[in-house]
Structure 1
Amino acid sequence: MRHLIGLLVIVFACGTAQAQPQLYRVVNVDQTDTLNVRATANPTAAIVDTLSPSASRVEVLEERHGWGRVIAGEGEGWINLAYLLRMERPAIGEFDAPGGLQCSGTEPFWGLQLHESGDATYYDGESLGAELVLNVVDARTARARPDPHVYYLSGAAEGVAVIASGQCSDGMSDRRYGWQASVDMRSPDGVSRLVQGCCFTPVLQ
């Protein structure tokens, strides 16, 4: 319980609070065409990425004058919201917490994927890049609040992940993520490692 309280303090002390990112799917785009992601919220701005007409789980981090800011490559871009329709965020397994999030951080490098099936994978410098297969044995969302979300992990290692909405930078790219994460992972030999980073929801093309 003590390390969970510590994680909650860390998450709320970091980053800038913001509305929870919402998921969308692409609409009103011909099957032979693509949806442009532009450098700024302007229909004449440079195209920095494209989405397929069937793309879903497009995570909008900010809305401005009919446009939505999204992660695009190593940076970010803007999509005209006339071509997006809001969708429900999938839960993880049978629990009251979102699935499909992909988290990572630096110093040390680490990564955590929370699959909606209830499976998870984790790696860090100690695992030498090898992915550890985990299970989400419990996951909860704060009562009467949109977040934080707490995930209890078991399998090749044991740990707790606390994820909350809030602007987050990985310190290496121009991306401004919409989720902050703190993860306390304990290896089978009893060594505990606390890491912090950012999360996002990968687009399904």
Structure 2
Amino acid sequence: MRWLFALLLVLAAPLAADPVPALFDVTGVAADDVLNVRAEPLASSGVIGTLAPDAVGVEVVELTFGADWGRVNVNEMSGWVSMRYMQRQPDAAEVWMTPRFVCSGTEPFWSLTVEQGVGAQFQILGEAEQALPAGLLKPGAGVNDRYALTLGQNVAILRQMQCHDGMSDRAYGLDVGLMLNGSLFADCCTLLAD
């Protein structure tokens, strides 16, 4: 009986920080072929899009339990690719995740573009852009899926979790809560900062 209790504790315990979101490159696909993006994480599922055989910087936002399939965005929707054909880009040595990322939200429409340790630009649609100093993402104490980012006197909290913007069928691997100038902004972030 103790083994069952121990197993339940292991299954209920939070996992170490997920390896996603992260940027990957397509690999092992013939030059005259494509990597199919499927509606579900099954080889028999319908194709909703494709990735070029030399695609780089593809954001994988979720993995299936066995990490055989990864969720990506294509054609303004999310789908699944076989991770057999994806190679993770090396992590940046000086920062967690990636040096640059973009968060955005609705009502009002806003965006935050961050270059860790350098600066950030925040803008509400129709208003002037606001430049902010940006620190580095720091892991939370006692939690393995939350990170704090100072933006001058303001703070953003990022969580590794599935996030949907409510306006599209895209999926994101980061949720953000941003307290800026006394107002709370919350929505999703992407590693694709271009």
Task: Tell me if both proteins adopt one fold, taking TM over 0.5 as the criterion.
Answer: yes
**TM superposition score category, shorter chain reference:** 0.7 to 0.9
CA RMSD of aligned residues (A): 3.0
Superposition deviation, residue 159 in structure 1 = 2.3
1:93-121 Cα shifts (integer Å, max 9, x gaps): x5556433221111221111223573322
Residue pair 2:117, 2:135 contacting (<8 A) in 1 also = no
1:59 aligns with 2:57: no
Aligned to 1:10: none
More off after superposition, 108-117 vs 75-84: 108-117
Superposition deviation, residue 134 in structure 1 = 2.8
Q: If the length of structure 2 is used for normalisation, what is the TM-score?
A: 0.73
Alignment equivalent of 2:148, drawn from 147, 150, 157:
150
Q: Higher relative contact order at CA 8 Å, sep ≥6: structure 1 or structure 2?
A: 1
1:1-28 Cα shifts (integer Å, max 9, x gaps): xxxxxxxxxxxxxxxx986324222111
Q: If the length of structure 1 is used for normalisation, what is the TM-score?
A: 0.70
Residue pair 1:59, 1:200 contacting (<8 A) in 2 also = no
Aligned to 2:121: 121
> Percent of aligned pairs with the same residue?
30
Q: Which runs of 4+ in 1 moved over 4 A?
A: 94-98
Structure 2: stretches of 5+ with no match in the other structure: 1-13
Superposition deviation, residue 137 in structure 1 = 3.4
Q: For residues 71 and 161 of structure 2, what CA distance do their matches in structure 1 show?
A: 14
Q: Which amino acid counterpart does residue 129 of structure 2 have in structure 1?
A: E
Aligned to 1:84: 86
Alignment equivalent of 2:162, drawn from 156, 167, 173:
167
Count how many residue pairs are aligned between Structure 1 and Structure 2: 176
Q: 1:96 to 1:64 in 2, by over 3 A?
A: closer
Superposition deviation, residue 138 in structure 1 = 4.5
Residue pair 1:57, 1:201 contacting (<8 A) in 2 also = no
**Superposed, which structure 2 residues align to 1:1-205 within 5 Å?**
20=18, 21-23=20-22, 24-52=24-52, 53-63=54-64, 66-90=68-92, 94-95=94-95, 98-115=98-115, 118-125=118-125, 128-143=126-141, 145-154=143-152, 159-186=154-181, 192-202=182-192
Structure 1: stretches of 5+ with no match in the other structure: 1-16, 187-191
- Structure 1 or 2, whichever has the larger Rg, is 2
